[in-house]
Amino acid sequence: MSLLHFPAGFRWGTATSSFQIEGAAELRGDSIWDEFCRAPGAIADGSDGRVAVDHYHRYPQDVELMASLGIDTYRFSVSWPRVSDPDGSVNAAGLGFYDALVDALCAAGIRPWLTLYHWDLPAWLPGGWTNRATADAFADYALQVHDALGDRVRVWTTLNEPWCASFLSYAGGHHAPGHTDAAEAYASAHHLLLGHGLAVRALRAADPEATLGLTLNFTPAYPADPENPADLDAVRRIDGTAHRFFTDPVFRGAYPADVIADAGAAWPADLVRDGDLELIAAPIDVLGVNYYTSQLWRAGEPSPQPTPHPSATDGVVVDRPWLSRTDMGWEITPDAFRELLVGLHRDYTGPAGVRLAITENGAAIDDPDPASGPIDDQERIDYLREHLRAVHQAIEDGAAIDTYLVWSLIDNFEWAFGYTKRFGLVAVDGDLNRVPKASAGWYAELIRTGTLSLPDPS
């Protein structure tokens, strides 16, 4: 057995999002995800977020549970259609829920980490993110939430995974609003980033001491044949829209020229206006990294089906049968995580003096029903351990990482997969009771000691 010690002051926590856990949909306005759930066939099990795991009513218990595990940081998101009314005014009762949640977290000694946008866009905003006006509305909403909670919430993430909220949602059709139009995807990606920039400007002016950032998702792309120029080019284009479309304007103040060239006629005229890139590149304090897997790609024939990679419809994912997979079918590749973190620090965050935080990492495992007894989710523990080993190595290699948050605290609504995929450290039974899994106890012990135990290789 060898022991890896994390730096003193390293922060441990868990993450969730509003639509996935809250329920109490009758107490808020519709989001695009409520509408998407009503579309026949959109959600694997035909489910929705109306009740979810009823966190809205059970939050005191969920906070207590986190306190019992020694959780230091809790990343949650605010539901925009809960705290805003269609005329743009504040919904006091909706905001009151987060006020009470934040009070409960602070009383339990848990640091609240607030994400302003985790995909539940108010359904009433015309055109959603394809409309530039949505970026202005987002900044107004950000200030409204900050006015109420800024005295206690000191860490603010503007957006969660804008790639998912744009390319996956407006080009791939997999997420709300389920469109398949490349031009809409580019427009929404830019407007999301603009909303981020406008919100950072507003929050910075209101609260210069706050910690501000955004969270991006990374699925590192590797060529199936590193000697084959066609595979290398497919990887360049995938990486372009999935990653560089977001990191380059935020850290370098420009969209990558190759990405715009690849977009061709799908790049909307007049999309980027004077001053937009300065706003988007406003300094941030922390980059949130969500990581689950990596992929191997080769160049093939252009796909006739819509894909979330509009400039790489010829890209084909190549299976690596020797790798284990999670219940999402995602290959388990912790080494790519280490490489990603070191590369981000070297190329983007390090030079800008920005810290990295792991804002999501975790595994869907096909756990048994909690009714059949304690859940021994050893595969989840193994996944977390291997990925934490990668984080530790990245820190040793110089990456400035100070936080790790498991996705997720609790089993929840996994978007288009409904309730069929389980990522939680805690299960939920048929009566919505919380049932901690073995991984919850394992994580509590890791937090208590700050030390990762690695079994000797067999």
Nearer to ligand FCB, 120 or 207 (CB): 120
Q: How far is the CB of 122 from ligand FCB (least distance, A)?
A: 18
The 10 Å Cβ neighbour count of residue 2 is 10
Nearer to ligand FCB, 355 or 421 (CB): 421
CA of residue 207 relative to chain centroid, distance: 24
Question: What is the sign, positive or negative, of the torsion defined by CA atoms of 217, 189, 76, 172?
Answer: negative
Nearest to 111 by CA among 362, 391, 356, 403: 403
Q: Which two tokens stand for residue 285?
A: 């304090």
Q: Give the Cα separation of 326 and 187 in Å (integer).
A: 33
Q: How far is the CB of 19 from ligand FCB (least distance, A)?
A: 9
Q: How far is the CB of 13 from ligand FCB (least distance, A)?
A: 15
Q: Give the Cα separation of 67 and 160 in Å (integer).
A: 25
Q: Which two tokens stand for residue 317?
A: 């994912």
Q: Write out the residues near ligand FCB by the rule CB under 6 A.
A: 17, 20, 160-161, 164, 217, 290, 360, 407, 414-415, 423
Q: How far is the CB of 221 from ligand FCB (least distance, A)?
A: 16
Nearer to ligand FCB, 277 or 416 (CB): 416
Q: What's the CA angle centered on 19, arms 421 and 317, to 5 degrees?
A: 45
Residues facing residue 213 across a β-bridge: 157, 286
Q: How far is the CB of 179 from ligand FCB (least distance, A)?
A: 19
In the chain the first and final C-alpha atoms are separated, in Å, by 11
Q: Give the Cα separation of 239 and 219 in Å (integer).
A: 9
Nearer to ligand FCB, 239 or 262 (CB): 239
Nearer to ligand FCB, 161 or 339 (CB): 161
Nearer to ligand FCB, 74 or 267 (CB): 74
Q: Give the Cα separation of 71 and 77 in Å (integer).
A: 17
Q: How far is the CB of 113 from ligand FCB (least distance, A)?
A: 14
How are beta strands 73-77 and 111-117 bridged, if at all?
A: parallel
Q: Give the Cα separation of 19 and 23 in Å (integer).
A: 7
Mapped to the 3 state alphabet, what secondary structure does 154-207 carry?
Answer: CEEEEEECHHHHHHHHHHCCCCCCCCCCHHHHHHHHHHHHHHHHHHHHHHHHHC
Q: Give the Cα separation of 71 and 368 in Å (integer).
A: 25
Q: How far is the CB of 406 from ligand FCB (least distance, A)?
A: 11
Q: Which residues are annotated as catalytic?
A: 161, 360
Nearer to ligand FCB, 276 or 360 (CB): 360
